[in-house]
Structure 1
């Protein structure tokens, strides 16, 4: 009887060992799957950060180009306005010499209007600078998100 008990005990011990090995293998598979999932998430996060950085660089380049274009356009408008002003001044002098008072008054009004336009153009440049400051502030917010995501990678 003792031999039968011994055999049963050995059989149960073997079954227990087999179960423990099987549990260990299952846990190993779970750990490997969790590691693969973590690596996949890290890769996705890295790609998101790279995309954000690319978008940020593109945004900065576009803003820089837009600022250059706006400044060139502003300079061109001012140059055209100065040329018109000079032309009107010359015409005013010519008419004053000839004594055409009515025409002179009309040109004086046009000169005043041109001066106002120039003044408004300069004010528009101020607004452009203000928008530039606002966009720079917004840009500072974007890198913070990127920095946050980079921090998560570490």
Structure 2
């Protein structure tokens, strides 16, 4: 079946000063089948993202982000059922970064800080709280 997608995306970034940057993104999409009233599955109508980058010093920063996604229609056990919905969710992430004088960045953080159970598609759960550490070198 032929599908049509109509929507828009809005994004804004703002540097309050040298120590604080913040940004947001919002997406709206209305998807429909051209010749049917059947629902589109696994695609939310709205989606949002917001972040803040806080610099304690020129080399030390904290990045905080929040992803927001509403409920959506999804498949149940591989079959599409008109009234099957998975819950909306919000996921918070944190990352602390330190840039050395020699083009090396050390970072550590937590993804899914509040250990929220969520899924983009029915039956496919995303990771719980995850701790990570990275070392990046810029050539």
Name which structure has the greater RCO, CA cutoff 8 Å, separation 6+. 1
**Which is richer in helix?**
1
**Which is richer in strand?**
2
TM-score range, shorter-chain basis? Answer: under 0.3
- TM-score by length of structure 2 reads 0.21
Return the index of the structure with the highest Cα Rg.
1
- TM-score by length of structure 1 reads 0.19
